[in-house]
A and B are shown apart, each in its own frame.
Chain A
């Protein structure tokens, strides 16, 4: 194993790791927004919205994320959507993971005993007040861990945007392999950095989950 080479190139990998982190953060934020919107559509009183929410979930979970990304980045310009690679990566991955998060959020909400909603409505709270003050605070605690699983998948999924040339960890490894012919070292380096990012995120989620426990 060429340790010298690894020592020489690792600063560039650190830079790439930072891109991966940024990509992950923006994607997670967009994913959560799409998930919240998707879940409220899936749970809506209106059949049209329920249908749209269900369609969103089945389309984006039912096709490869890579194809979605390609359609957006390469196909986008054809229909007037001009995005740079990073933007396309965030939007493509965010909308994709949002479909999974939709189901996570919806699942946590419907897992709350329906007696909770009844008790709140019986006191005179409106449907939205009951949701905001009674259901969501409980569901939010339930969804931390499964959302953590989604975020874990999302971080690993950012490797896909190497295919549209975003200079993140996977793309950087590939590029250095091109000039060094040392795939083992280069992929090992990026793998270790992915692991650190994922481990750190996992710990943060565990911490949040512990803090949010109901007495």
Chain B
């Protein structure tokens, strides 16, 4: 980690409502460059909403999101906003629970689509980029396969390579391993660990407490739209202060061991 103390990613007083339903109630979160933050909490607590607010996929109803010195969720006239947000999103990689690979494109096509369109890379540069990124996630030998020919774990690794190909400053993971068969989780976790070693800034929504404890610098426990407690993983997983955190972890462990 760097000793740079101005936040790299800064969520200030995030609020989000769907009608009367308050999904995020005044959440603030600062992430330093190279830091890895895990968000845990029961289903429906607002984890995805918070993560998706970071690249304005689900715009907030209140509060601000900043990446370095740029406000992400700026209020602008439609055209200007679109230009701004497309630019911003190139800096933020996102990995989804259900991979969302493009089924009509090969693995290579998936990885190079955005760099080709947005950065104007030549075919040769695209190939080199695809090879680099796929090598990193151990999928180089599948470069000419189509998504339907891959296992879940392989799909997710390609999805990570696709996000990395844009050279993002931050990576967001929304339950990246939740849809995977248990025996495929580890290969994806290994890729994420590798990114951690390279000091990629990451925000990870996860149900894998062991993984979170191993790679994250900080853990947030969310419940009903608020951050109930946060701290280093050793404390959060071993002796959390808050009763709700304790109950959640107890229940979660019971389920995991069943």
Residues of chain A lying within 8 A (CB to CB) of residue B118: 123-125
B98-127 toward A: CB 8 Å interface, digit per residue (1/0)? 101111100000000110011000000000
Residues of chain A lying within 8 A (CB to CB) of residue B82: 126-127
Say whether chain A's binding surface is mostly helix, strand, loop, or mixed. helix
Q: Nearest Cβ distance between residue B92 and chain A, in whole angstroms?
A: 7
Question: Among A115, A125, A138, which residue has its beta carbon within 8 angstroms of that of B100?
Answer: A115
Q: Nearest Cβ distance between residue B65 and chain A, in whole angstroms?
A: 15
User: Which one of B83-91, B129-137, B241-249 is at the interface?
Assistant: B83-91
Interface size class of A (residues with CB under 8 A): 20 to 34
Q: Is there contact, CB below 8 Å, between A129 and B117?
A: yes
Question: Among A45, A123, A215, which residue has its beta carbon within 8 angstroms of that of B114?
Answer: A123
Contact A119 to B102, CB < 8 A, known contacts A124-B86, A126-B86: yes
Residues of chain A lying within 8 A (CB to CB) of residue B98: 115
Q: How far apart are the CA atoms of A45 and B79 in the complex, in Å?
A: 12
The answer, yes or no, to whether A214 is at the interface (CB within 8 Å) is yes
Instruction: List A123-175 residues whose CB lies under 8 Å from chain B.
Output: 123-127, 129, 133-134, 137-138, 141
B49-84 toward A: CB 8 Å interface, digit per residue (1/0)? 000000101000000000000000000001000100
Contact A122 to B92, CB < 8 A, known contacts A134-B102, A138-B103, A214-B103: yes
A30-49 toward B: CB 8 Å interface, digit per residue (1/0)? 00000000000000010000
Count of chain B residues near A, Cβ 8 A = 29
Q: Is there contact, CB below 8 Å, between A215 and B146?
A: yes
The answer, yes or no, to whether B162 is at the interface (CB within 8 Å) is yes
Measured CB to CB, the residues of A under 8 A from B are 45, 113, 115-116, 118-127, 129, 133-134, 137-138, 141, 214-215
Measured CB to CB, the residues of B under 8 A from A are 55, 57, 78, 82, 86-87, 89-90, 92-94, 96, 98, 100-104, 113-114, 117-118, 146, 148-149, 159, 162-163, 166
Known: A119-B96, A125-B114, A133-B113; 20 extra A-B contacts, CB below 8 A, are A115-B98, A118-B57, A119-B94, A119-B100, A120-B113, A122-B92, A123-B113, A123-B118, A124-B89, A124-B90, A124-B166, A126-B82, A127-B82, A134-B113, A138-B102, A214-B103, A214-B146, A214-B148, A215-B148, A215-B149
